[in-house]
Chain A
Amino acid sequence: MLGRGLKRKLSDYEENMAGLSSAFDSSRSLPYPLRRQLVLNMCLTKLQTYKMLVEPNLHRSVLIANTVRQIQEEMRYETSQQPVNVCNGIAPNPHSYPGIDSSGISSHMPSGSNHPPTCLVPTGDEPELKGAECVFGSFEISNSTSYLKDLAIDDIFEDIDTSMYDSDFCSLMAARPPAAATEETLKTFPSCNSSSANNIQICRTDLSELDHIMEILVGS
């Protein structure tokens, strides 16, 4: 019987911890807008990964897309309420994150010169949900090899504020011990987490895909 005289080994314990630990575990201490942005980033990454699959899981994709919609709705509401203050509200303050190398952030921060910040600005009547909705368009023709053609990766981010992406990924990496930083960052992408159940198909494409996403997110 487990439990009687059987202690869980430290290594097991750590292994299990790793299974669930992430930058987002500590996200409760982050300010709400930043947390929201983290979730939004995750959603978009997941949607992007699913689209690589020949036949993505419709149930998951719908749930994730609805989460994106909900967050975007919320952001749109806020921007319509206070269009001026949003930038300040969301702009990450390096001093508020313990353990973050502020120099690492500032190098990526949109600091004015060659990185004009694309802050949350009300986009009028533009269909902001395009990113999320396109996903299901692909189900219609998921059999065709060209199903990605009308959904370039940029489309997904087109209508979404990307100014936060730089700092998010910085904070993700900086919030961890430097040695584990690379691995851990990979874990942020579900496709790279080999313990995930349904990623057998994903793994083939994930690395180049990851590079691509990183390029876009980091803005290089």
Chain B
Amino acid sequence: RCVLPPLSKCRWSDIISTVEFNHTGELLATGDKGGRVVIFQREPESKNEPYSQGEYNVYSTFQSHEPEFDYLKSLEIEEKINKIKWLPQQNAAHSLLSTNDKTIKLWKITERDKRPEGYNLKDEEGKLKDLSTVTSLQVPVLKPMDLMVEVTPRRIFANGHTYHVNSISVNSDCETYMSADDLRINLWHLAITDRSFNIVDIKPANMEDLTEVITASEFHPHHCNLFVYSSSKGSLRLCDMRASALCDKHSKLFEEPEDPSNRSFFSEIISSVSDVKFSHSGRYMLTRDYLTVKVWDLNMETKPIETYQVHDYLRSKLCSLYENDCIFDKFECAWNGSDSVIMTGAYNNFFRMFDRNTKRDVTLEASRESSKPRAILKPRRVCVGGKRRKDDINVDSLDFTKKILHTAWHPTENIIAIAATNNLYIFQDKVNSEMH
């Protein structure tokens, strides 16, 4: 007898753990807790069906990481994909890096739509022919066949990390990338798997003195010598690799003094930076902490130039959110193609967008009900206290198990990808250049 689980209770392994567009936006990759990578491809434009452009369909699925066991440490290593990063495309093939807690892998994705036929010594199945039947010499020819997408592992970068890898970032030189765990950042060459250079190490000599960990890290989009890493104390450190081989001393420290009026037991926890992203221009950095998103100017270290409240109504609920561990949720953030709008996730399958120019913000919901194909998303509102307008949702009825941690924005167009537990939502602007 087959008992189907209720729809709402998805399999643990199906939960999406990362979303990433490639550099053209033609491909979109997701990773999940089961170690799988699913690649979606945007359908080419069709004149008959103007709407079909922009629809993403599954292009390829492969198992990137398997659960492993570290016999030396007696540790189980989860297969969960923590991050995916696409490499800039250099030939017909696409390449991406995927990582779990410990091991980074380089995958090559190639298409094949032709196959050679008519070998002299081999038959159709590839078996050797009986030589006595070979009477004439023939030239093999390429015959068209159904498109096949092949994914092959090209490199495996193992044994570089003692702690959990939280970020990977490909350098603008296209030859190196870095990987960051809780205490260290390593620099790798994409072609060399047996050695990496440690560029940041904040592990104290005595682990009892440990009060801060690295939470995210990224290379500057244009200057291959610059990178930033964020910390659990809410600071950002910009490092210049030209200064020294080991960038323990930052070049710039971006930090905002704590607001004494908002002090609580959880001040440090909610100030921990969960994600940091350079703007496409390279001038700004976007950070997400538990309650806010902030935009920092690389030229100003003392405070962010913009701070947006994501869900300030949770400030009075921090104790409960600490109790149920939600306060440790690592929300990511994203820029749109022109760096004018930022996006980040929230609870109850809500996500937020902030227009930096108009200062308008909107709360949208990724749900099956609201996401009929081509339906227009309706702004949602969370109310606090008694005043409640029609369609408002009360802060006490938010569902904290439905969280949008991972979002991605198409590099040039207004297309966004939202991972809501085991569902991937792709929303597209109805009219170009207008935000909905």
Contacts and interface: CB of A to CB of B under 8 A. Distances in A.
Contact of B324 (A19, A62, A69, A71): A19
Given A1-B378, A62-B232, A54 B320 contact: no
Contacts of A63: 232, 268-269, 272, 328
B320 A24 contact: yes
A67 B268 contact: yes
A70 B208 contact: no
Nearest to B329: A197
Interface string A117-136: 00000000000000001101
Given A12-B397, A36-B265, A143-B75, 13 more contacts: A2-B378, A13-B397, A19-B400, A20-B324, A54-B74, A58-B164, A59-B166, A59-B182, A62-B232, A67-B269, A139-B210, A143-B70, A193-B324
Contact of A70 (B209, B268, B401): B268
Dominant secondary structure of chain B at its interface with chain A: loop
A62 B396 contact: no
B321 A20 contact: yes
B210 A62 contact: yes
A136 B372 CA distance: 49
Contacts of A187: 323-324
A110 to B, nearest CB: 25
A28 interface: yes
A137 B208 contact: yes
Complex A-B, nearest 5 residue pairs according to Cβ-Cβ distance, in ascending order: A143-B73, A24-B319, A133-B208, A136-B207, A3-B391
A140 B370 CA distance: 48
Interface residues of A, number: 55
A15 B391 CA distance: 19
A139 B183 CA distance: 12
A134 B207 CA distance: 9
A62 B211 contact: yes
A26 B243 CA distance: 52
B265 A143 contact: no
Nearest to B233: A66
A197 B154 CA distance: 33
Given A2-B365, A63-B328, A25 B268 contact: no
Given A62-B210, A70-B265, A16 B397 contact: yes
Q: Which of B208, B272, B400 has its CB near the most chain A CB atoms (within 10 A)?
A: B208
Interface bin, chain B: 35 or more
A190 B399 CA distance: 17
Contact of B207 (A3, A20, A137, A145): A137
Contacts of B323: 22, 24, 42, 187-188, 190
B265 A71 contact: yes
Interface string B340-362: 00000000000000000000000
B375 to A, nearest CB: 6
B268 A58 contact: no
Interface in A44-72: 54-55, 57-60, 62-67, 69-71
A17 interface: yes
B322 A42 contact: yes
Contacts of A28: 316
B396 A20 contact: yes
A80 interface: no
Q: Which of B213, B268, B322, B399 has its CB near the most chain A CB atoms (within 10 A)?
A: B322
27 contacts: A1-B375, A2-B367, A16-B397, A16-B399, A16-B400, A17-B397, A20-B320, A21-B320, A24-B323, A25-B320, A39-B322, A42-B322, A42-B323, A58-B182, A58-B183, A60-B325, A63-B269, A70-B268, A136-B210, A139-B210, A140-B207, A143-B72, A143-B74, A143-B75, A190-B323, A195-B324, A198-B325
